[in-house]
Amino acid sequence: MPIITSISTVAKQIFELSGAIKDSRGDRRARVIYYCNNAGNHVSEIAAELRLNRIPGKECLELRDAISRCSEVVLKMADVPGLTLLLDELCTPQADIKIYDEFNSSDSKEEELKQLDEASGLLRALAKSARAVP
């Protein structure tokens, strides 16, 4: 599965846990909020780099870190099937080049950018809505 599709799938799966995340308390919820917001920001940055035809090196490393830390908490709440696979893909050497190459060889670049924008929006919306719960 292309990495961009994996990012999109995992963002949707995490978003589907919004009820469990909102119901969690204290440090657990605060960490999920923080890492989901960061992951959303990094996905947006990856899309921006691809739009500029640049390899999203730093952005992929930062996304990997945010997803890794988020997974430590989220996987204790529920199973997210694509999360481990995405982490494996992001941890491979030169994942940034793989994303860049997959994107540049795609016939549907605009659709892939839409997937990244949607994934970013879902992760940030989840963080925002969970933050609003007392």
Q: Report the length, in residues, of the chain.
A: 134
Split into its structural domains, the chain has a count of: 1
Mapping DSSP onto H, E and C, the string for 50-64 reads HHCCCCCHHHHHHHH
Please write the tens of the pLDDT for every residue from 72-118: 888 777 777 777 777 788 878 788 999 999 999 999 999 999 999 99
Write down the pTM of the prediction: 0.91
Q: What is the longest distance spanned by two Cα atoms in the chain?
A: 46
Please write the tens of the pLDDT for every residue from 22-42: 888 888 889 999 999 999 999
Neighbours of 81 (CB within 10 A): 9
Domain range for 70: 3-132
